[in-house]
């Protein structure tokens, strides 16, 4: 069995400013200074890695695995199986709770693949993080008090949407 597993992740942002001329033309430029006149780097961001357990909390720790990703899950006619699986989970008016386990989460990645905004709760009750269509969040969870599998929940804001995710312990 493999050990010393790690997830390597990164993010970046490019500071831009968009202005509209009197004639209605839109111009976007990279910011070279902030409002106080200090120089701004062209890219802001970071990379990191987090050690995760070699034995995850369940087969559903990532939405990218399908129902037939393991040999033992195939039916007797395995050559006729092989349903394709998109890795997408629908988000509706019922909150998605990923697990009833109180296991601490070491890494969270959630991407909104749908057309509508969703919200994320880290404590099970307050939905403080909004994720717009096409947006995503990723962060290390180690050291965040109360960040456990049973406290992570996703809910739609106004209309149904969809997500893909990785929740590693």
- The tens digit of pLDDT for each residue in 34-74 reads 667 677 666 667 788 787 777 776 555 666 665 544 555 55
Q: Within this chain, do residues 68 and 12 fall inside the same structural domain, yes or no?
A: no
The domain total for the chain is: 2
Give the CATH number, domain containing residue 86: 2.60.120
- Its domain, for residue 64, covers 56-168
Residue 65's region, left for phi above 0, alpha for psi from -120 to 50, else beta, is: beta
Q: What is the DSSP string of 105-146?
A: PSEEEEEE-SSS-EEEESSSS---EEE-TT-EEEEE-TT-TT
pLDDT digits (tens, 9 = 90+) for 95-111: 878 777 888 888 888 99
- Provide the pLDDT for residue 94: 84
**Higher confidence at residue 59 or residue 25?**
25
Q: Measured between alpha carbons, how far is 53 from 8 in angstroms, rounded to an integer?
A: 14
Q: Measured between alpha carbons, how far is 144 from 105 in angstroms, rounded to an integer?
A: 9
Q: Within this chain, do residues 15 and 62 fall inside the same structural domain, yes or no?
A: no
């Amino acid at each position: 069995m493999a050990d010393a597993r790690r997830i390597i992740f990164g993010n970046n942002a490019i500071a831009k400013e968009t202005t509209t001329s009197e004639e209605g033309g839109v111009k976007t430029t990279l910011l070279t200074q902030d409002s106080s006149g200090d120089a701004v780097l062209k890219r802001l961001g970071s990379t990191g890695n987090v050690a995760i357990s070699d034995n995850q909390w369940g087969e559903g720790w990532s939405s990218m695995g399908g129902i037939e990703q393991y040999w033992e899950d195939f039916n007797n006619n395995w050559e006729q199986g092989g349903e394709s699986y998109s890795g997408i989970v629908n988000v509706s008016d019922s909150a998605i709770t990923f697990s009833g386990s109180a296991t601490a989460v070491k890494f969270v990645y959630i991407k909104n693949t749908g057309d509508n905004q969703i919200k994320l709760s880290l404590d099970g009750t307050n939905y403080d993080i909004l994720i717009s269509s096409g947006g995503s969040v990723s962060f290390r969870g180690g050291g965040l008090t109360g960040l456990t599998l049973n406290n992570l929940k996703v809910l739609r804001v106004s209309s149904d949407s969809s997500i893909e995710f990785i929740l590693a312990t």
